[in-house]
Amino acid sequence: MEISFSRLDEDIARFTLKDATPAFANTFRRTMIGEVPTLAIEDVMIYDNNSALFDEILSHRLGLIPIKTDLSEYVRRSECSCGGEGCSSCQAIFTLSVEGPCMVHSGDLIPADPKATTVSTDIPVVKLGKDQKVVLEARAELNDGSEHAKWQSTLACGYKAYPVITIDDNCDACGNCVEECPRNVLKIGKKSVEIADGKLEDCSMCRLCEKACMASGIGDKPAISVKPDTERFIFVVESDGSLPVKDIMTSAFGIIKNKADSLVDVLNEISGAI
């Protein structure tokens, strides 16, 4: 299996996964979305809230704020040596005290751990009028997207099969398919249609080019055909900023490997028991 990146930033990666099966590509996608842990606010102790929002709505909004997560610093509460009581290894504490009139933003959450800050300071939480006040303490903990979407570190995470476009000798370079292609993937060459430089991966496999070719009266079979490669996949992964996208990928691979190892152990146990 091989990965080649066409883009790798802190928050966005675009890459091709080669020599993989569709099942593995989908497992990788699902693991990145649902099983890579991240921090999110889970409990809120409200000392004062006379804003227009109920305590529950306010807590829900706080829970959705992405928090920068260092996976080497935090463990899940259920796996912590404190036995789940809550300590600096399994929870990140924030305090907030704001008096109106003003808009309360995510940046008003003051973190006890300077590394576990909110990803953005500009997310609006609640608008306070004159004499309105919010005072609270919030506790973030590590969990994953399979428990709740607030622990999902990916905003967008998807893939498509790599397009394979073949053009046969019957092509007379009439250009109908070029006109029809909504992604400008094709261009007229000297003797036949060609794939425009660097545009192949933009193909959505809509196959409008095949239909246009048939409509040109070419016969029973279009001169152009578009098929998905079943061993090559184009991925786009975007992080919400809580984890670098590279960490999301590495963590997902680790989770898949651990699961595969456990399966092998179980199968060995079963075959040994027979």
Q: Pick from ligand SF4, Zn ion, none: which does 177 bind, CB < 5 to 8 A by kind?
A: ligand SF4
What does the block give as tokens for 62?
């706080």
What does the block give as tokens for 74?
């935090």
Q: Are 128 and 102 in contact (CB under 8 A)?
A: yes
Q: CA 117 to CA 100: how far, in whole Å?
A: 23
**Angle, helices 245-273/22-34, rounded to nearest 10 degrees:** 120
Name the residue nearer to ligand SF4 (CB basis): 220 or 269: 220
Query: Sign of dihedral through CA atoms 49, 51, 52, 58?
Result: negative
Q: CA 100 to CA 194: how far, in whole Å?
A: 63
Name the residue nearer to ligand SF4 (CB basis): 138 or 165: 165
Name the residue nearer to ligand SF4 (CB basis): 102 or 218: 218
Name the residue nearer to ligand SF4 (CB basis): 88 or 204: 204
Binding of ligand SF4 by 173 (CB under 6 A): yes
Binding of ligand SF4 by 205 (CB under 6 A): yes
Binding of ligand SF4 by 208 (CB under 6 A): yes
Binder among 174, 196, 236, 256 for ligand SF4 (CB under 6 A): 174
Q: How many residues bind ligand SF4 (CB under 6 A)?
A: 30
Binder among 45, 87, 206, 264 for Zn ion (CB under 5 A): 87
Binder among 62, 80, 92, 138 for Zn ion (CB under 5 A): 80
Q: CA 17 to CA 5: how far, in whole Å?
A: 9
Binding of ligand SF4 by 213 (CB under 6 A): yes
Name the residue nearer to ligand SF4 (CB basis): 36 or 181: 181
Binder among 91, 106, 118, 176 for ligand SF4 (CB under 6 A): 176
Contacts (CB under 6 A) with ligand SF4, residues 219-238: 223-224, 226
Query: Sign of dihedral through CA atoms 248, 205, 187, 195?
Result: positive
What does the block give as tokens for 220?
């029973």
Q: CA 69 to CA 160: how far, in whole Å?
A: 29
CB of 204 to ligand SF4, least distance (A): 5
Q: Are 159 and 25 in contact (CB under 8 A)?
A: yes
Binding of Zn ion by 112 (CB under 5 A): no
> Which one of 62-70, 139-147, 186-194, 261-269 is the stretch in contact with ligand SF4 (CB under 6 A)?
186-194
What does the block give as tokens for 48?
């004062």
C-beta neighbour count of 149 within 10 angstroms: 12
Q: What is the DSSP letter of 203?
A: -
Q: Pick from ligand SF4, Zn ion, none: which does 255 bind, CB < 5 to 8 A by kind?
A: none
CB of 17 to Zn ion, least distance (A): 36
| β-bridge mates for residue 228, sequence order | 163
What does the block give as tokens for 52?
């227009």
Residues of the shown chain interacting with ligand SF4 in the complex, contacts defined by CB under 6 A = 165, 167, 171-177, 180-181, 183, 185-186, 192-193, 203-209, 212-213, 216, 218, 223-224, 226
